[in-house]
Amino acid sequence: MQDSTGLPLVPPRVVPVLDPGFRPAGLAARAFRELCRGTPGAVPVRLALVRADGSVFRFDAAVLPAGHPRAAANLRYLERTLKFLLWSRGGHRIHFDGPAPLAQGLAAHYRDTSVGRFDSETVGERMFDHPITVVPTRDLPPERSIARPLGRHLAGCRIGFDLGGSDRKVAAVVDGEVVFSDETVWDPCFQQDPRYHFDGIMDSLRKAAAHLPRVDAIGGSAAGVYVDNRVKVASLFRGVPRDAFDREVVDLFLRVQREWGVPLEVVNDGEVTALAGSMSLQANAVLGIALGTSTAAGYVTREGSITPWLNELAFVPVDLRPAAPADEWSGDRGCGVQYLSQQAVGRLLPAAGIAVPAGMPLPKQLEHLQERMRAGDARARQVYATLGVYLGYAIAHFADFYDLAHVLVLGRVTSGSGGDVMLAGARQVLAAEFPELASRIALCTPDERTKRHGQAVAAASLPAV
């Protein structure tokens, strides 16, 4: 079976019970690579994705010769690969060593299609100040990845916060021990006035400060992309008009820092998830994936450092069927957010025959699913089993782009016994379809202490004093 672009779509051995049409991106990529290896005259292609900070990410591949009956798959394979690289690593300039028609096709994609323009405008212009450009060249820069030690500073009186799409959490931490924690429900994503966000953050910080003799440092995690504490792109501020975003949101955390007058560090929530996992496991090469309002991810290298990579796995392709569900923001189909978040839950409830009132918010839909699971409803178990299959195939695909020893899975979607069903399903996928990965990647969830306070402690540990 293949899609309209000629890319082979491989049915999974472990079929998600509520979504039999699912066609994992990782299986399609493996099948295409195998096809190229077995095809005489396959053409080498070299890619280098360049960031303004000097980072260079290399990816070598092969494509089918122009006369091959499936040569139409070449462009789709390269574009989906670059989609993953763009949203996991970041960058704006693509150095391309390969057939000229493919370089032209990629350039046209980022210039002329709505999905390509979204990537160019969001990753290229908003994050790295330049639209995505494709540069045909035989002279590719060498790989260069920047990583920095960040966090693990526990001494003193610190505040750690985490800003999610449905709640904000804060903790007061003294020498690594949590002395106070609080969780406040909020609805930031579609608020037009950034004062709502600023006031909410300050309210949480004041609550924590009231339980400390002094505040030495503040560390935070939030959904989005942050560079030097400046907001580049963040779903938390989606509702803020662009002019107000540029005027009041970009430097919002710098303003918070001025108000408190102490070292402050804010990074993507996925990075803090991975850091918390690394600190808890006392291990490195950790990919943390938080399944909540969206899909947050972060990575700790084998050396124990956090990278400046984007790790925005909500936007990477995990399903390549043409009729895959579309992401409401980018319009692209088959992206991680529709499979590894509360959005996936909302999509699967009708397929399971579990009715919810029209207009019920996604967090409430998740609570309803968890209630049905506690009541022993077999339909709820099917939802979690399906999510587990998604997770297993996604992890296998992520392993093509990350050096993994541990994958830490957490977030509201994994709470309760449903999370156990999910992890069992993911492990089943790895054992049945990817035994080489099952033998070297440990799939785990946080212990109870880390679940309660790990994210806050890791966030609080970000700034050096």
Q: What is the pLDDT of residue 125?
A: 92
Q: What is the pLDDT of residue 452?
A: 56
Choose the most confident range, by mean pLDDT, from 48-62, 91-105, 439-453: 91-105
Instruction: Tell me the pTM.
Output: 0.87
- What percent of the chain has pLDDT above 70? 97
Q: What is the pLDDT of residue 451?
A: 61
DSSP result, 381-419: HHHHHHHHHHHHHHHHHHTTTS--SEEEEESGGG-SHHH
Q: What is the pLDDT of residue 225?
A: 82
Q: Which helix (H) or strand (E) holds 83?
A: helix 73-88
CB-based burial, 350-361: b 16+ in 10 Å, e otherwise: eebebeeeeeee
- Gap between the Cα atoms of 399 and 437, Å rounded: 8
Q: What is the pLDDT of residue 82?
A: 97
CB 168 within 8 A of CB 324: no
User: What are the E-state strand segments in 263-420?
Assistant: 264-268, 286-291, 295-300, 406-410
Q: What would the CATH number be for the domain defined by 157-271?
A: 3.30.420.40
- DSSP state, residue 338: G
Q: Is the pLDDT of residue 121 over 80?
A: yes
Query: 328: helix, coil or strand?
Result: coil
What is the band of 90 on the pLDDT scale with cuts at 50, 70, 90? very high
- What percent of the chain has pLDDT above 90? 76
Q: What is the pLDDT of residue 227?
A: 82
Query: 302: helix, coil or strand?
Result: coil
The CA–CA distances, whole Å, from 310 to 222, 272, 299 equal 13, 13, 10
Lowest mean pLDDT among 33-37, 176-180, 315-319, 425-429: 176-180
- Gap between the Cα atoms of 264 and 48, Å rounded: 34
The full set of domain ranges for the chain reads 39-136, 157-271, 280-460
Partnered with residue 43 across adjacent β-strands are 63
**In degrees rounded to 5, what are phi and psi of residue 94?**
-110, 110
Q: How many CA atoms lie within 13 A of 437 on its CB side?
A: 25
- DSSP state, residue 444: E
- DSSP state, residue 124: I
pLDDT in tens, 249-288: 999 999 999 999 999 999 888 888 888 888 878 889 999 9
Indicate if 280-460 has the same CATH topology as 157-271.
Answer: yes
Region 100-122: mean pLDDT is 97
Q: What is the pLDDT of residue 233?
A: 83
Topology, domain 280-460: Nucleotidyltransferase; domain 5 (3.30.420)
CB 421 within 8 A of CB 50: no
- Gap between the Cα atoms of 209 and 214, Å rounded: 7
- Gap between the Cα atoms of 248 and 192, Å rounded: 11
Strand arrangement, sheet containing 167-174: 177-185, 167-174, 157-163, 217-222, 264-268
Long-range contacts of 178-187 (CB under 8 A, 24+ apart): 178/452, 178/453, 178/456, 178/457, 179/211, 179/212, 180/207, 180/208, 180/210, 180/211, 181/452, 181/453, 181/456, 182/207, 182/208
Query: 373: helix, coil or strand?
Result: helix
Query: 426: helix, coil or strand?
Result: helix
Choose the most confident range, by mean pLDDT, from 4-8, 147-151, 409-413: 409-413
